Chains A and B, each alone.
Chain A
């Protein structure tokens, strides 16, 4: 079909802008055209890894455990949403790399956590589990249409320590959180393995428009976090404008911290791009490319609010 040839041509043309920053670029392009493995997270609010694995063994469902995350599984099924274990809330279908931001944020039982862009809720439910259903997660999303799946996921997964709100995150009301997650709206280039059409909608202009929204969301989240508290900023795009370009604009409020996740390959953040100088500390952010771990693409920055932050 001419249309798909045209759009895939446009797709790789847009991705060409990353040839100099993505290592082993041809392997990257190659992996972008392959479908994603089916991955699920074990929900320890309702089960344990041994219980779930023995159910899968008995049902004859093949699986492979993720090296970097003991609760992550790659499943050998086409439709995980038809498994009993899904309807029991024992597992959640969640892309492997999207299990990472909550691991970096590391919310503790009893803390107060803000999830500023939460729908459809995979990460909020994961945090609820990390916190053993204690403390508070405010799962916020400005899209009223997406509040429905957000609530449904939280309920199926048994998240009791959650409230759902629907503010525009840029104007989220005053409160003090221990930590915050900003899993921002973005151009989603990193989801192309699941949604091949996304790349054809991407452009530098679109990324720059998103950047101003992302900066406002991230600044608000930092202001709502206690001094010394951790804020994680993540996107599923490669565009530096939406990643390092955003983080570089909050350095008056927060410092970037390095982090490592054993078993997961990654590349450093970019200190500069296309003539923009983002700052040397931006190398502490991590970029996750599809061919590094056979996942979608992601960007994660771990920030810590300054003790005396100017607003």
Chain B
């Protein structure tokens, strides 16, 4: 983990970030009222104040977007927080599929969504980020969010661009 100071974080234009959520998911800008966005490395972080207080910070707020991918990829944790406000590009899974998605499996399915990153839900509660290509939904859950069967755990297949727990950027 890199230890950096508050100076490592650069403010980013809020409109750019808010419009990504609006265009991709139809999330209203009201949801982001009061939050600021900062960039460090190739990640965008959300934070509750317009300025970072003057401490030697290990981290601020929460990682919400990875700019390593094109288009930018929302983190699972940001979708868990804001995804319930999404009006489009949402895929709701039944019990069986949700279990398999949590196990890290790719699911064969067709949904009325655009190709790209989607909010994956189960009974309306957000599981996290998925990547949809017609006919297929690929889990983008960070590894530590997978629920594996104790008995016969399937192999881990890290997706490129998996959100990592340790904050490497």
List chain A positions with a Cβ less than 8 A from chain B: 45-47, 51, 55, 58, 82, 84-85, 87-90, 133-136, 138, 147-148, 151-152, 154-156, 158-167, 173, 175
Contact = CB atoms under 8 A, between A and B. Distances in A.
Given A55-B123, A136-B53, A164-B58, A84 B77 contact: no
Interface in B28-47: 34-35, 46-47
B77 A155 contact: yes
Contact of A162 (B35, B61, B123, B167): B61
B49 A155 contact: no
Given A134-B34, A152-B165, A175 B53 contact: yes
A165 B56 contact: yes
Contact of B55 (A90, A138, A151): A138
B127 A84 contact: yes
A300 B54 CA distance: 30
Contacts of A135: 48-49
Interface residues of B, number: 39
27 contacts: A47-B125, A55-B125, A87-B102, A89-B77, A133-B48, A134-B34, A136-B48, A136-B49, A138-B53, A138-B55, A147-B1, A148-B166, A154-B62, A155-B62, A155-B63, A156-B145, A160-B35, A160-B61, A162-B60, A163-B47, A163-B59, A164-B57, A164-B59, A164-B60, A166-B56, A173-B54, A173-B55
Q: Which 9 A-B residue pairs are closest in the complex by CB-CB distance?
A: A161-B48, A158-B81, A164-B58, A163-B60, A160-B61, A164-B59, A87-B145, A165-B55, A160-B46
B88 interface: no
A226 to B, nearest CB: 15
Given A135-B48, A160-B46, A58 B123 contact: yes
B104 to A, nearest CB: 12
Nearest to B48: A161
A167 B80 contact: no
B48 A158 contact: no
B47 A165 contact: no
Nearest to B47: A160
A45 B80 CA distance: 9
- Taking each of A88, A135, A152, which has the highest tally of chain B beta carbons within 10 Å of its own beta carbon? A88
Contacts of B127: 84, 87-88
Contacts of B123: 55, 58
A133 B49 CA distance: 10
Given A134-B48, A156-B145, A159-B61, 19 more contacts: A46-B126, A47-B125, A55-B123, A58-B123, A84-B102, A84-B122, A87-B102, A88-B125, A89-B77, A133-B48, A136-B53, A151-B167, A160-B81, A161-B48, A161-B61, A163-B57, A163-B60, A165-B58, A166-B58
A259 to B, nearest CB: 27
B158 interface: no
Contacts of A155: 62-63, 77
A305 B113 CA distance: 56
Interface in B68-106: 77, 80-81, 98, 102
Nearest to B3: A166
A256 to B, nearest CB: 29
A130 B46 CA distance: 18
B15 interface: no
Given A165-B55, A165-B57, A159 B49 contact: no
